Structures are given as structure tokens and as C-alpha cells.
């Protein structure tokens, strides 16, 4: 039973890594009309009348997402492909790392979506020469945002499995080896 749970834990970890990769790479938003392009956490290409938009926040988010995702994936891979997966404390700790990482990822996503919300769907301006009407922009929710909604369920399920393994797997106790003690030899006193 516990071996099956370990296998399910490893499969859930692989599923989580694949989902995180899709969340990070696929677009959160796509634009068509006056504003064209897409935005994902690791890449973006947005243009307004064929003039590319450069946003420093997006570059900053991309850098931090790449660094944190690589560190997260490395930790997960170490646990899967090394003997660490035999230790229930490590499995539980790695599950908590996933919860922490999801919070960071969601924060980056929220910051990016707040910045993207500044792109208007319709833009009309009044000038001294008259009213200027720009073409409307259609803003679509991308696949990345839909997949992000699945990630907490995967993380919670994996954490529950790790908790069950933590409760029922035998703990690895490291016994201190006893050092051989020096024997004191009692010498008898000779009568002279």
C-alpha cells in the first residue's frame, strides 16, 4: 500500500512539474484588434499599431519566474531521481515547497494581470481637431490562466499523500555509534 502511495506521489510530482511548465510558458492573455499579441510569464509580444510595447515589469517578472521555476524544478527532480524519495520527512518538505512556490507564481501572475488590465479594450480621445476613435481590442483569457486553476488541486492532493506517507512510513532513525571505550587496566602492586 505504501509503495503504491510512493508511486502515486512521484506521478503527481511529474504531473505538477508538467502543469507548472504549461502555466509558465502558455499565454495568460492574448490580444487582437488595435492591440495585438500575447503575454505569458516567460515571454510576451504586445504591439499597438505595430509598435511593440516594452514594459519593465514584464521583464522583471520573466527573470524572477525563470529563476524560481528552475530552483523549484531542481528541488523536485532531486527528490524524484535520488534516494531522498525514501524519506517521508523530505517528501512532506518538498510538498510544502510546492505550496510556497504556487504562492510566488500566483503573485507574479497577479502583478502581470494588473499591468495588462491597463490596456483598454476601447480607446477614444477628444482633441481640438475632433474625436479620435481607435479600433477596439479583443482581450482573451489564455490557456495558462485556465491551467493555473488546476495547480492548487494537484498540490493539495500531493501534499495529502506526502502527509499520509509521513504518518505511516517508518522513520529513519540515525543511531549514534558507540565508540569503543579504553579499558583501564588495574595493576596490582607487588610486595617487595
Quick one: pLDDT at residue 173? 46
CB atoms within 10 A of CB 124: 9
The residue-averaged pLDDT of 170-191 equals: 57
The predicted-structure confidence for 4-24, as pLDDT tens digits, reads as follows 888 888 889 899 999 999 999
Q: Report residue 131 as a C-alpha cell.
A: 474625436
Residue 132 vs residue 3, higher pLDDT: 3
The single residue listed with the C-alpha cell 481607435 is 134
Residues 181, 182, 183, CA angle at the centre, nearest 5°? 115
**Which residues on neighbouring strands pair with residue 154, listed in sequence order?**
none
Q: Report residue 117 as a C-alpha cell.
A: 488590465
The predicted-structure confidence for 107-119, as pLDDT tens digits, reads as follows 999 999 999 888 7
Give the residue extent of every domain in the chain: 2-168
The predicted-structure confidence for 140-149, as pLDDT tens digits, reads as follows 888 888 888 8
The radius of gyration computed from the CA coordinates of the chain, to the nearest angstrom, equals: 28
Q: For residues 179 and 123, give the distance between their C-alpha atoms in angstroms, rounded to a whole number.
A: 81
End-to-end CA distance of the chain: 76
pTM of the shown model: 0.75
Q: DSSP characters for 83-146?
A: GGGG-HHHHHHHHHHHHHHHHHHHHHHHHHHHHHTTS-SS-EEEETTEEEEPPPEEEEE-HHHH
Nearest to 73 by CA among 81, 63, 61, 84: 81
User: Exposure of 175 by Cβ count < 10 A (0-12 exposed, 13-18 middle, 19+ buried)?
Assistant: exposed
Residues in the chain: 192
The predicted-structure confidence for 87-111, as pLDDT tens digits, reads as follows 778 888 888 999 999 999 999 999 9
Amino acid at each position: 500500500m505504501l509503495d503504491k502511495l510512493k508511486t502515486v506521489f512521484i506521478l503527481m510530482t511529474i504531473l505538477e512539474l508538467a502543469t507548472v511548465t504549461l502555466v509558465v510558458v502558455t499565454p495568460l492573455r492574448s490580444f487582437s484588434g488595435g492591440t495585438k499579441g500575447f503575454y505569458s510569464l516567460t515571454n510576451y509580444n504586445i504591439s499597438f499599431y505595430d509598435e511593440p510595447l516594452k514594459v519593465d515589469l514584464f521583464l522583471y517578472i520573466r527573470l524572477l519566474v525563470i529563476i524560481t521555476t528552475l530552483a523549484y524544478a531542481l528541488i523536485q527532480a532531486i527528490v524524484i531521481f535520488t534516494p531522498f524519495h525514501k524519506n517521508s520527512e523530505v517528501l512532506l518538505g518538498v510538498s510544502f515547497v510546492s505550496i510556497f512556490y504556487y504562492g510566488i507564481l500566483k503573485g507574479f501572475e497577479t502583478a502581470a494581470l494588473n499591468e495588462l488590465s491597463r490596456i483598454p479594450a476601447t480607446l477614444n480621445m477628444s482633441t481640438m481637431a475632433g474625436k479620435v476613435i481607435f479600433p477596439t481590442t479583443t482581450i482573451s483569457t489564455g490557456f495558462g490562466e485556465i491551467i493555473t486553476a488546476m495547480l492548487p488541486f494537484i498540490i493539495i492532493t500531493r501534499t495529502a499523500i506526502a502527509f499520509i506517507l509521513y504518518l505511516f512510513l517508518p522513520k529513519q532513525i540515525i543511531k549514534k555509534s558507540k565508540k569503543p571505550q579504553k579499558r583501564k587496566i588495574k595493576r596490582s602492586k607487588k610486595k617487595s
